[in-house]
Amino acid sequence: MKFQLLAASAALVFAFAGAAEAHGPTRQKTSRSIEISASPDKVWKVVGDFQDGSWIPVVEKTEGQGGNDKDATRTLTLKDGATVKETLTKYDAEKMTFAYRITEVDVKVLPVTNYSSHITVTGEGDKATVTWNGAFYRGYPNNDPPAELNDAAAIKAVDDLYDASLKSLKDKVEKGS
């Protein structure tokens, strides 16, 4: 399960709730990709709509404003009721790439802070590759983090989210739904 609920981390979170944007000294990065047997255009139609996050399996609904324009916003409501607020920071349909950042998420939902990412579709003919690059700090903003909010926990959570979502995207596009 990608979004583990850790009671211990939840307790810690609230202690730092006021320190908006404070973060550790080392930003983490991860990159996951998947090959899909479909044209890049077809894949982009699904993944490139910022106002529809339904290809991400944990997302129940997407509500937002501003379409696919820079500074557009969306709120993802997850199946367990938690919400994630995001802002589009870059969008280039020609290059089939966009970037967004999370403006609001509880670290008990995703144990990261200052998260931003890029999603890019490449390929030709009937082969597409989707690459998802994430950049973020661990959930614990201070020195000597507890295990559930350290760098490794942040990377694992994001990797798990990306892998499950990309697999779901592949299934969805290849089955033509």
Partner 1 sequence: MRRLSAAVLALGLTVAGAARGDEAFVTNQTGDDVTVLDLAAGRVVATIPVGGKPAGVAVAPDGARVYVTSPEGKYLTVIDAAARTVAARIPLEGGPLGVAVHPDGRTVYVADWYAAHVLAVDPVAGKITARFEVGASPSGLAVTPDGALLLSADRDSNQVSIVDLASGRRIGTIAVGERPFGVTLDAEGRRAYVANVASNDVSVIDVAARKVIGTVKVGERPYMVALAGGRGFVTDQYASQVTAFDLATLRPLKEIEVGEYPEGVQASADGRKIYVANWFGNTVSVIDVSALTVEAEHAVGDGPRAFGTFLRRTP
What are φ and ψ of residue 130, in 5° steps? -105, 125
Supply the DSSP symbol for 113: E
Choosing from 118, 127, 156, 172, the residue that interacts with partner 1 (CB under 8 A) is 118
The strand pairing partners of 99, in sequence order, are: 90, 118
Nearer to partner 1, 45 or 118 (CB): 118
Residue 45 neighbours by CB under 8 Å, 6+ apart: none
With CA atoms as reference, report the closest residue to 119 among 153, 82, 165: 165
Tell me which of 5, 11, 29, 174 binds partner 1, using CB under 8 A.
29
Q: Does 21 bind partner 1 (CB under 8 A)?
A: yes
Angle at 61 between CA 57 and CA 65, to 5 degrees: 125
* Binding flag, residue 32, partner 1 (CB under 8 A): no
Give the phi and the psi of residue 171 in degrees, each rounded to 5.
-60, -45
Name the minimum Å distance from CB 71 to partner 1: 10
C-alpha–C-alpha distance, residues 153 and 127, integer Å: 33
Q: Which is nearer to partner 1, 29 or 167 (CB)?
A: 29
Q: At what angle do helices 40-47 and 151-174 cross, to 10 degrees?
A: 120
**Shortest distance in whole angstroms from residue 66 CB to partner 1:** 15
**19 makes contact with partner 1 (CB under 8 A):** yes
Among positions 49-78, residues that touch partner 1 (CB under 8 A) are none
Applying CB under 8 A, among 22, 93, 147, 152 the residue interacting with partner 1 is 22
Residue 153 lies near partner 1 (rule: CB under 8 A):
no
Which among 49, 62, 40, 43 is positioned nearest to 172, based on CA atoms?
A: 43
State which of residues 4, 77, 129, 133 lies at the interface with partner 1 (CB under 8 A).
133
Q: Which stretch binds partner 1 (CB under 8 A): 7-15, 25-33, 43-51, 60-68?
A: 25-33
Q: Which residues lie near partner 1 (CB under 8 A)?
A: 19, 21-22, 24-29, 89-90, 99, 101, 116, 118, 133, 135, 142-143
